[in-house]
Amino acid sequence: MEEINEIKKAEFGTLNNIVQEYLPGTTENELYKMFTNENSVFIGYYMENKLVGVCFGETYNKDYFGIMGIAIIHPYIKQGRGSKLLNYFENIVKSKGHKNLSVGSADGYVEHFYLKNGFVLSSLKILTENDTWTKKENKLYPISKIEKQDIYTKLVIENICYETTDKDEVCKYYGGCDRFYVFEKKIIVEE
């Protein structure tokens, strides 16, 4: 039997194991803080009452809800479960009044997963550790916004094309140390 439900507090250990293996970069303490935050949503995909997939995120602001991670464990992947889990997650977030989902995506098949599920490319974000980017002319890929993330300066480049933009090339041009696409999806269409 397969079902999708909210992840219960007693399942935090299993949730954490999945996140640590499939979604590295989030510590157990960070995950627990998010898990116990009332502005977060944690949804699980279950096979025979066993947690085999997770989707979670938190409120960015009243309009945007951020997906922080989604994963289905092996051998249950690539059988449509991720899309079902994401759809269920979207409906929960929509019921809370949020209008848009936003996600910073990993490379490759993950980007294609979001595109397949109705997300559109919003921006390319480049993390820099120094200010060498200030000396670059940015006519081809103009910087729309500048944000801070811990020790990094985050350059936001909008109005780009997924099919023709080489994010590694743009990252190198600006002297970045990392880069990722941000995808968004409207979940409440205003009339």
Q: Is residue 189 scored above 70 in pLDDT?
A: no
Tell me the pLDDT tens digit for each residue of 84-119: 999 999 999 999 989 999 999 988 889 999 999 999
Looking at residue 131, its pLDDT comes to 83
Q: How confident is the model at residue 138 (pLDDT cuts 50, 70, 90)?
A: confident
Q: Which of 7-11, 16-20, 61-65, 151-155 has the lowest mean pLDDT?
A: 61-65
Beta pairing partners, 66: 58, 102
Instruction: Summarize the confidence of residues 137-146 as an average pLDDT.
Output: 85
pTM: 0.89
Which CATH class name applies to 2-98?
Answer: alpha beta
- Predicted confidence (pLDDT) at residue 184 exceeds the cutoff of 80: yes
* Mean pLDDT to the nearest integer, 124-141: 85
Instruction: Write down the pLDDT at residue 46.
Output: 97
Q: Dump pLDDT digits (tens) for 33-90.
A: 999 999 999 999 999 999 999 999 999 777 889 999 999 999 988 888 999 999 999 9
